[in-house]
Amino acid sequence: MALVRYSPFAELDPFVGFKALEDSMNRMFAEPNGRPWVPPVDIVENQNELVVKADVPDVKFEDIDVKLENGTLTIRGERKFEKQSGEKGGWHRIERSYGTFERSFTLPETVDPEKVKADYTNGTLTVTLPKKEVAKPRQVKVEVKHN
């Protein structure tokens, strides 16, 4: 049995594999702190609707895209890094992540796609997904019969 040195890139197509790896690395380290940004999301359900709330501070509403397609809700956007200009001052620490983000959620068939709405207030995106009428619970009256 011969010992063979492990080379993780040996099987990559020299044109496709290295380009994909390079693109991935460029995306990862293009952001100021080197971390991709994924905004946190809360999802709550009540008897009438699902509500998705995403924390997207410092993102302009023009830079947010909300789509509902084939039962999937997709939220895309970008928080842009503002570079310091001039010679005085400069960043002491950068801990927040910047760049583009995308979150996708598979929705139940009970959501009425025609009535979905989204609003943006104080850095929070709220997407309201009303349920179809047939999916809402309804009270059934029980009749008592005496023999």
The fold of the 16-81+96-135 domain, in CATH, is: Immunoglobulin-like (2.60.40)
Amino acid at 137: P
Cβ atoms of 64 and 56 closer than 8 Å: yes
Residue 91 corresponds to which tokens in the numbers above? 């960043």
The pLDDT of residue 36: 75
- Quick one: average pLDDT of 42-69? 94
CB-based contacts of 41: which residues, under 8 Å, 6+ apart?
Answer: 52, 53, 54, 55, 75, 103, 105
Give the separation between CA 101 and CA 125, rounded to whole angstroms. 14
Amino acid at 86: G
Cβ atoms of 110 and 49 closer than 8 Å: no
pLDDT band at 3 (very low <50, low <70, confident <90, very high): low
Encode pLDDT of 123-137 as tens digits.
999 999 999 888 667
Residue keyed to tokens 């890139």: 9
Encode pLDDT of 60-99 as tens digits.
989 999 999 999 999 999 998 877 666 677 777 888 888 8
Domain ranges within the chain, ordered by starting residue: 16-81+96-135
Strand partners, 105: 73
Mean pLDDT of the chain: 82
The total of other beta-carbon atoms located within 10 Å of residue 74's CB is: 13
Encode pLDDT of 15-37 as tens digits.
555 666 666 655 554 555 556 78
- Quick one: average pLDDT of 142-147? 84
